[in-house]
Structure 1
Amino acid sequence: MTLVVTHCVTAVPTYPIYKHRHKPPRSFSLRILSKSNQVSDVKTPQSTSYTIEPIRECECFNMYKQQVPYSQAWAWQKSIVEEKKAMIEKNDHCRDSLFVLQHRPVYTLGTASSEQFLNFDIKDPPFDVYRTERGGEVTYHGPGQIVMYPIMNLRNHKMDLHWYLRSLEEVIIRALSKTFCIKASRLEGLTGVWHGNQKLAAIGIRVSQWITYHGLAVNVNPDLTHFRWIVPCGLQGYQVGSVKSLLEEFHTSADCGRADLPDPDDCQLLDITCRSLINEFSEVFEVRINYETMSRLDLQAV
Structure 2
Amino acid sequence: MKARRSLEVWKMGIVNYLEALKLQEKLFAGRKAGVVPDLVLSLQHPPTYTLGKRRTRHNLLVPESDLTRIGAELHYTERGGDITFHGPRQAVLYPILSLREIGFGARKYVEGLESVMIEVAASHGVKARPGRAGETGVWVGDRKIGAVGVRISSGITCHGLALNIDPELDYFKHIVPCGIADKEVTSLRRETNAELPADEVIHEQLIRCLARTFYFDDIKFKQDLPKFS
Task: Please indicate the TM-score interval, normalised by the length of the shorter structure.
Answer: over 0.9
The number of residue pairs the alignment matches comes to 224
CA contact (8 A) 1:220 1:269 kept: no
Query: Stretches of 4+ moved more than 4 A in 1?
Result: none
1:187 pairs with 131, 136, 155, which one?
131
CA drift of 1:233 comes to 0.3
Larger radius of gyration: 1
Residue pairs, 1:254-293, within 5 angstroms: 261=194, 263-264=195-196, 268-287=197-216, 288-293=218-223
Deviation string 1:1-41 (CA, Å, 9 cap, x unpaired) is: xxxxxxxxxxxxxxxxxxxxxxxxxxxxxxxxxxxxxxxxx
Counterpart CA distance in 2 for 1:278 and 1:84 is 19
Task: Kindly provide the amino acid, as one letter, of the partner of residue 181 in structure 1.
Answer: G
Q: What value does the CA root-mean-square deviation take over the aligned residues?
A: 1.7
1:85 pairs with 18, 25, 32, which one?
32
CA contact (8 A) 1:159 1:210 kept: no
Counterpart CA distance in 2 for 1:271 and 1:296 is 21
Give the TM-score taking structure 2 as reference length.
Answer: 0.92
CA contact (8 A) 2:136 2:178 kept: no
| Residue 163 of structure 1: aligned partner | 108
Matched, 1:56 2:1: no
Residue pairs, 1:1-302, within 5 angstroms: 52-63=1-12, 66-87=13-34, 95-125=37-67, 126=70, 127-177=72-122, 179-189=123-133, 190-247=135-192, 251=193, 261=194, 263-264=195-196, 268-287=197-216, 288-296=218-226
CA drift of 1:124 comes to 3.7
CA drift of 1:191 comes to 2.2
| SS state at 2:103 partner | coil
CA drift of 1:95 comes to 2.7
CA contact (8 A) 1:109 1:131 kept: yes
Counterpart CA distance in 2 for 1:279 and 1:213 is 18
CA contact (8 A) 2:10 2:225 kept: no
Task: Kindly provide the amino acid, as one letter, of the partner of residue 113 in structure 1.
Answer: R
Give the TM-score taking structure 1 as reference length.
Answer: 0.71
Task: Kindly provide the amino acid, as one letter, of the partner of residue 172 in structure 1.
Answer: M
Structure number with the bigger relative contact order (C-alpha 8 A, sep ≥ 6) is 2
Counterpart CA distance in 1 for 2:180 and 2:211 is 31
| SS state at 1:296 partner | coil
CA drift of 1:159 comes to 4.2
CA contact (8 A) 1:113 1:136 kept: no
Segments of 5+ residues of structure 2 without an aligned counterpart are none
CA contact (8 A) 1:109 1:139 kept: yes
CA contact (8 A) 2:164 2:186 kept: yes
Task: Kindly provide the amino acid, as one letter, of the partner of residue 81 in structure 2.
Answer: G
Deviation string 1:63-117 (CA, Å, 9 cap, x unpaired) is: 2xx2100011111111011111222xxxx7x531100100011100000031111
| SS state at 2:178 partner | helix
| SS state at 1:294 partner | coil
